[in-house]
Every structure is written in structure tokens, then in C-alpha cells.
Structure 1
Amino acid sequence: MDSLDELLHQAERAHGHLCAGQILGVRMAILGCRRLGIEDPRGKDRKRLVTFVEIDRCATDAIGTVTGCRLGKRVLKFRDWGKMAATFVDLASGRAIRICARESSKVLAKEMYPQMEDKNQQQMLAYREMSDSDLFTEQWVRVTIGPSELPGYKGERVVCSLCGEGINFNRFVRRQEKTFCLSCAFPEDRYYQPIP
């Protein structure tokens, strides 16, 4: 794996800027891979790792940069829980570790650099230097990933009886011998509403 500085540079290029969240994400991913014994997540170990992220912020882009996990490869899974946390799953061993940023790290950053008024700058410096135990909590967890969630899964592709759009990976509902996409089956849960 590349050095912390090199990974931060790659994360900055991929995300567009470097911030405290990017540093947390890079360090979180390094720690997760290290705990699982995954030395080269973007190379020889790339088919071993699945990562679940719990926030749609800067750290998620950094985690993807370090691990090589991407939504399009079906190895980055997003759970919108609003937490600065990620779970790293080793498909080869079945082991998984959930790593969460400690809220206390913000206070510690302020204590480390009280002369700095800019909170982001305080955190950026401190998050490079803090120990893993000051930055994160770690918990070994069990994650069950079904075959339809894995890369390369070739599931049934069907067409929605109402909107006519194609649906992949069993993301449909059957009612009264008709097939509906989740958007048509549960219109109240749509993230969009059609304009007539």
C-alpha cells in the first residue's frame, strides 16, 4: 500500500480538495485493510474486499480511493446512517471490522493545536498525527453478503409492468402476476416525483 502522504494526494485528486474528512477516510481505510491483512486492496487483493460506508461525505471518496472499492464494481455499499463509519469485509476469510471516527477526536485536535483558529486546519494536522485509538473505535462484526450482492452476479432482468423500465438484481416486486419496479410499487418512497 502507498504511504499516507501518497494516499492523501490521490484522495485529494479524486475528491477535488483535501479536508479533515478525507484524512479520516484515508486513515480509516488503511486501518481496516491492515486489520484484515489486506496489503494491496487495489491490486492483488482487489477481489477480497467489500466496503460498507455509512455517510455520503468526503471520507467516502477517500475510502474508495484507498480500497479501490466503487459502487459500479458492486464492492462499495452505501448505508445512509449519517455516521463517519465504514465496515471492511474480507470475502476470502469472512472476517469484517467496523471502524467509526470518535467524536472526541475533534476535542483532542483543538487541544493539540489551540493556537489555530480554523477548525478544519486543526483537525487536518491532528488527524495525521493521532494514534488510531484516539481517532477510531474498532469492532469485529459479522456481515452476511448474499450472492446477489456480489460482483459478477447475473440475476434475472425484468421489465416493470407500469413504467416499462428494465430492472436488475431482483429489485422488483411481483403483485397479482405483474412485475413492478420499486419506484412504481412504492411511489411514496420515491426520491423523485414525476411531473405530469
Structure 2
Amino acid sequence: MDTTQSETYARLLEEAGRFHGDVCRGIRIGTRMTMAGLREIGIADPKGADRKNLIVFVEIDRCATDAIMALTGCRPGKRTMKVLDYGKMAATFVNLRTGAAVRVTEREDGPDKDAAPALLATIPDEALFRLTPVAVPLRPEDLPGRPVRACLCARCGESVLDGREIVFGGETLCRACFEGRSYYSPSA
């Protein structure tokens, strides 16, 4: 990483830290992941000229996700960030205009990622991450904008948007009813 990239990292790290509330290891790694992912797919201005050309899939619900959100402007509510909590320090950046996509995963065999931010700024991306070109098939229901369709769950009667329903045994079900469990249970 050259001096200009180190200066960019310092500026972006400060921005991500303000958004998150502090600069921890996850913010440092998430900042570098964002820089690498955007560079690999050719997005230069994620909050400006390229803001409608980017979707990010994050695979962890930790600090790195805040860094990615702060630096890209992608948000679940805008349908430009998809949070898939697999518990992995990984994110996939997709350029909607070109179709280019890269999955950025933390290397476990890489250098000490708890290093001081100035040192972390100098470590090459390839030493910190695996940068894997991938294909991400996106349906109209996955893209930003108004819901494409809605249906009702046959068991709970709640609305399910954008193809997230499951048809099983002739019934259209929400995921919670299909799996027979939810993250909540009714209280007395």
C-alpha cells in the first residue's frame, strides 16, 4: 500500500470509527475489506456517483459490518446491504452496473491484524484477505426499490415480501412457520 493509500486508509478509518463509536479491530479490518472490495469491482465513489451500482453481502453481525456500512453508504433498509450472519469475517461486494463481484474473506494465516492502525495500513491486501471473484445471481426481488411481490403465510397470516416465502405441501409459508421456530416466542 503506497503513501496515498495509507492516507486514504487513515481518513476512512476515522470516518468508520465515528460511525461505530470507536476504532476497534473490527473497524480496522472492515475498513481495509471495504477498500479492497471496492477497488476489485471498480467502484470509486460508493456514496456518490456509484451509489446505485453497489450491493454488499456481509457474513457477520459485528463491527466490520459497521465499517462497511459507514464507508459504502449501503444499508439493509435501502436493500443495498444484505446481512447473512454466518459468523464469518467476510463480505461480497457487487457492482450492479458491470456484474463484477468479489468475496473478501479474512486470512487466518495472515499477519497480526491486531497491529497498530499505521502498521495495518501498510500490509498488502493479499496478505490480509482472500479476494475471490464470484458470481452473485440477483433476482428483481433482491434489488433496491419497492417490493416486487407480497403474499400471506398460510399459518400465521403475516405478509411475506419479495420471494422470501416457502411453498411446502401446497402451503405458502413464511420461513419461521416453515422451520417451526422463530427468534421469539409469545409471552403470557
3-state SS, counterpart of residue 8 of structure 1: helix
- Once residues 85 and 22 of structure 2 are traced to their aligned partners in structure 1, the CA distance between those partners, rounded to angstroms, is 23
For the pair 1:56 / 2:48, whether they are aligned, the reply is no
Structure 1 residues 195 and 48: CA distance shift in structure 2, 3 A: same
The runs of at least 4 aligned residues of structure 1 exceeding 6 Å deviation read none
Unaligned runs of 5+ residues in structure 1 are 111-119
Which residue does 2:112 correspond to in 1?
109
How do 1:20-169 and structure 2 match up within 5 A? 20-105=25-110, 108-109=111-112, 120=114, 122=115, 124-169=117-162
Counting aligned pairs with the same residue, the percent is 43
Query: What letter is aligned with 2:162?
Result: F
- Structure having the higher Rg: 1
Question: Given the superposition, is the C-alpha separation of residues 162 and 34 from structure 1 closer, same or farther in structure 2, using an over 3 Å criterion?
Answer: same
Output the amino acid matched with 1:156: R
Q: TM-score, normalised by structure 2?
A: 0.85
CA-atom RMSD, angstroms? 2.4
For 1:194, the aligned partner's letter is: P
Amino acid at match of 1:70: R
Task: Kindly provide the amino acid, as one letter, of the partner of residue 138 in structure 1.
Answer: L
* Change beyond 3 A, Cα 1:136–1:177: closer
Q: How many residues align?
A: 183
Residue type matched to 2:71 in 1? Answer: V
5+ residue gaps, structure 2, are none
Higher relative helix content:
1
